[in-house]
Amino acid sequence: MVKNREDAAQTAENQSKASVGICQLWTRMVYGSVSVGDVDGDGDADAVDGWKSEPKDAQHTNRKPPRGVPVAFSGGSRGFGHRAVSLGGGKIRSTDMSSSGYSPGNIGTTTISQIERSMNVTYLGWSETIGGVKIPLAPKPTEPKPKTSRGVQVDVAIAALKKATTNDPVRAKLKKQALDALLKMPFIR
């Protein structure tokens, strides 16, 4: 199973160095995905193969990829294309890039346009899958469990003390002391 979108984006954000020219391998590793091999039969397993391995109904060509999905480009100096990870909001985490442009061996945050200009590639789009496997959305945060808090228990104790009646002066004094102590506790409203 591949990582969910948020985990993949965070993994990409936490990395800063990579060997030059391993964008497809790095992107797959961010998701924990296996190689798709040479999909187009041109003798290499490159970023273009990664894009071509994605089902057509999982490919999107708009320039607003959501956080945690892979983006793909074609072209480049050797025709291998490029693959990277969207951070959402127009930001892309990419190998061989920095915020100012091409930067061999570095992993940086950049934009689709900056990658196109710096690497002489053409944006193909983003996909909901990696290696043909659906990338899960991040799990929804769980609701906090209702507290069986001391506050509720104390409210019950205060109510019981207020209801309790006694004609015994010693018990009445103890009741008042217990009630005063409870009301002074910091977790009481």
What CATH code is carried by the domain that includes residue 57? 3.90.1720
**Mean pLDDT, residues 51-72 taken together:** 97
Q: Cβ distance 60 to 53 under 8 Å?
A: no
Find the largest Cα–Cα distance for the chain: 97
Tally Cβ neighbours within 10 Å of residue 135.
21
Give pTM, 2 decimals: 0.73
Higher pLDDT, 188 or 17: 17
Q: Cβ distance 59 to 36 under 8 Å?
A: no
pLDDT bin (cut points 50, 70, 90) of residue 35 is: confident
46 domain residue, yes or no: yes
52 domain residue, yes or no: yes
Domain count, the chain: 2
- pLDDT at position 61 is 97
* Domain housing 10: 5-134
Q: 28 and 117: one domain?
A: yes
Q: 168 and 117: one domain?
A: no
Q: How many residues does the chain have?
A: 189
Q: 72 and 103: one domain?
A: yes
14: nearest Cα among 102, 109, 91, 103: 109
Q: Tell me: the pLDDT tens digits for 118-168?
A: 999 999 999 999 999 999 998 887 776 655 555 666 666 666 666 666 677
Q: 180 and 102: one domain?
A: no
Across 75-84, 161-170, 171-180, the highest mean pLDDT is recorded for 75-84
Question: Whole-angstrom Cα distance, residue 180 to residue 49?
Answer: 74
140 domain residue, yes or no: no
Question: Whole-angstrom Cα distance, residue 65 to residue 70?
Answer: 8
Beta-carbon contacts of residue 149 (< 8 Å; ≥ 6 apart): 187
Q: What is the DSSP letter of 70?
A: E
Q: Cβ distance 107 to 12 under 8 Å?
A: yes
Beta-carbon contacts of residue 143 (< 8 Å; ≥ 6 apart): none
144 domain residue, yes or no: no
Q: 160 and 118: one domain?
A: no
Q: 14 and 71: one domain?
A: yes
Question: Whole-angstrom Cα distance, residue 172 to residue 28?
Answer: 73
156 domain residue, yes or no: yes
91 domain residue, yes or no: yes
pLDDT of 95 higher than 50: yes
pLDDT bin (cut points 50, 70, 90) of residue 48 is: very high
Mean pLDDT, all residues of the chain: 87
